[in-house]
A = this chain, B = another copy of it.
């Protein structure tokens, strides 16, 4: 794959990859098994060190891989990846052992990591689980520290999304229910003051 456009994102700006609430892909690897699932319930939690939360159902095979390996990748899929995202959200590796052979799912290696990164996404956040057994068992809620962040410079560079100037196929996805998504829309700026 062409990796020339994959660019590190400063950790202080990593939250910007998910602050607008996109639907994500969560991937993980353990003992040679890779999996990826779709997750809308992913949210920034802190700036420094950057953290996020993700809700992982007990039925999800990806959750098992995360619990065993202690790490995962959150990636921001694009409009061009809507079929992949829907496939990842509606098929379980438990019942469909061929899930990862879907032609749109191509995994690549991010140097310095040992997790399955999904090709073609807008951004990637490598995360390390901060163990919180009560949250995990009671609420299916996992906390991750973001240890690395990257974006495709065709859609995010210098800490900024380029949705208004890039090809609309690069827009991120926002899932509702029943196969219904919205793309990220028009940009609008107000004031000169940073909102915390």
Contact = CB atoms under 8 A, between A and B. Distances in A.
Interface in A139-157: 139-141, 143
Given A21-B22, A21-B40, A187 B195 contact: no
A45 interface: yes
Contact of A190 (B141, B171, B179): B179
A178 interface: yes
A38 B90 contact: no
Nearest to A163: B182
B182 A186 contact: yes
Contact of A86 (B13, B55, B191): B191
A42 interface: yes
Interface string A158-196: 011101000010010011111111111111111111111
Nearest to A87: B191
A25 to B, nearest CB: 12
Interface residues of A, number: 62
17 contacts: A15-B177, A20-B21, A20-B40, A20-B174, A41-B44, A41-B45, A46-B139, A46-B140, A51-B139, A90-B191, A161-B176, A178-B194, A178-B195, A179-B191, A179-B192, A182-B184, A183-B186
Nearest to A143: B139
A190 B86 contact: yes
A36 to B, nearest CB: 14
A121 interface: no
Contacts of A38: 195
A30 B189 CA distance: 33
A81 B66 CA distance: 40
A99 interface: no
A108 to B, nearest CB: 24
A7 interface: no
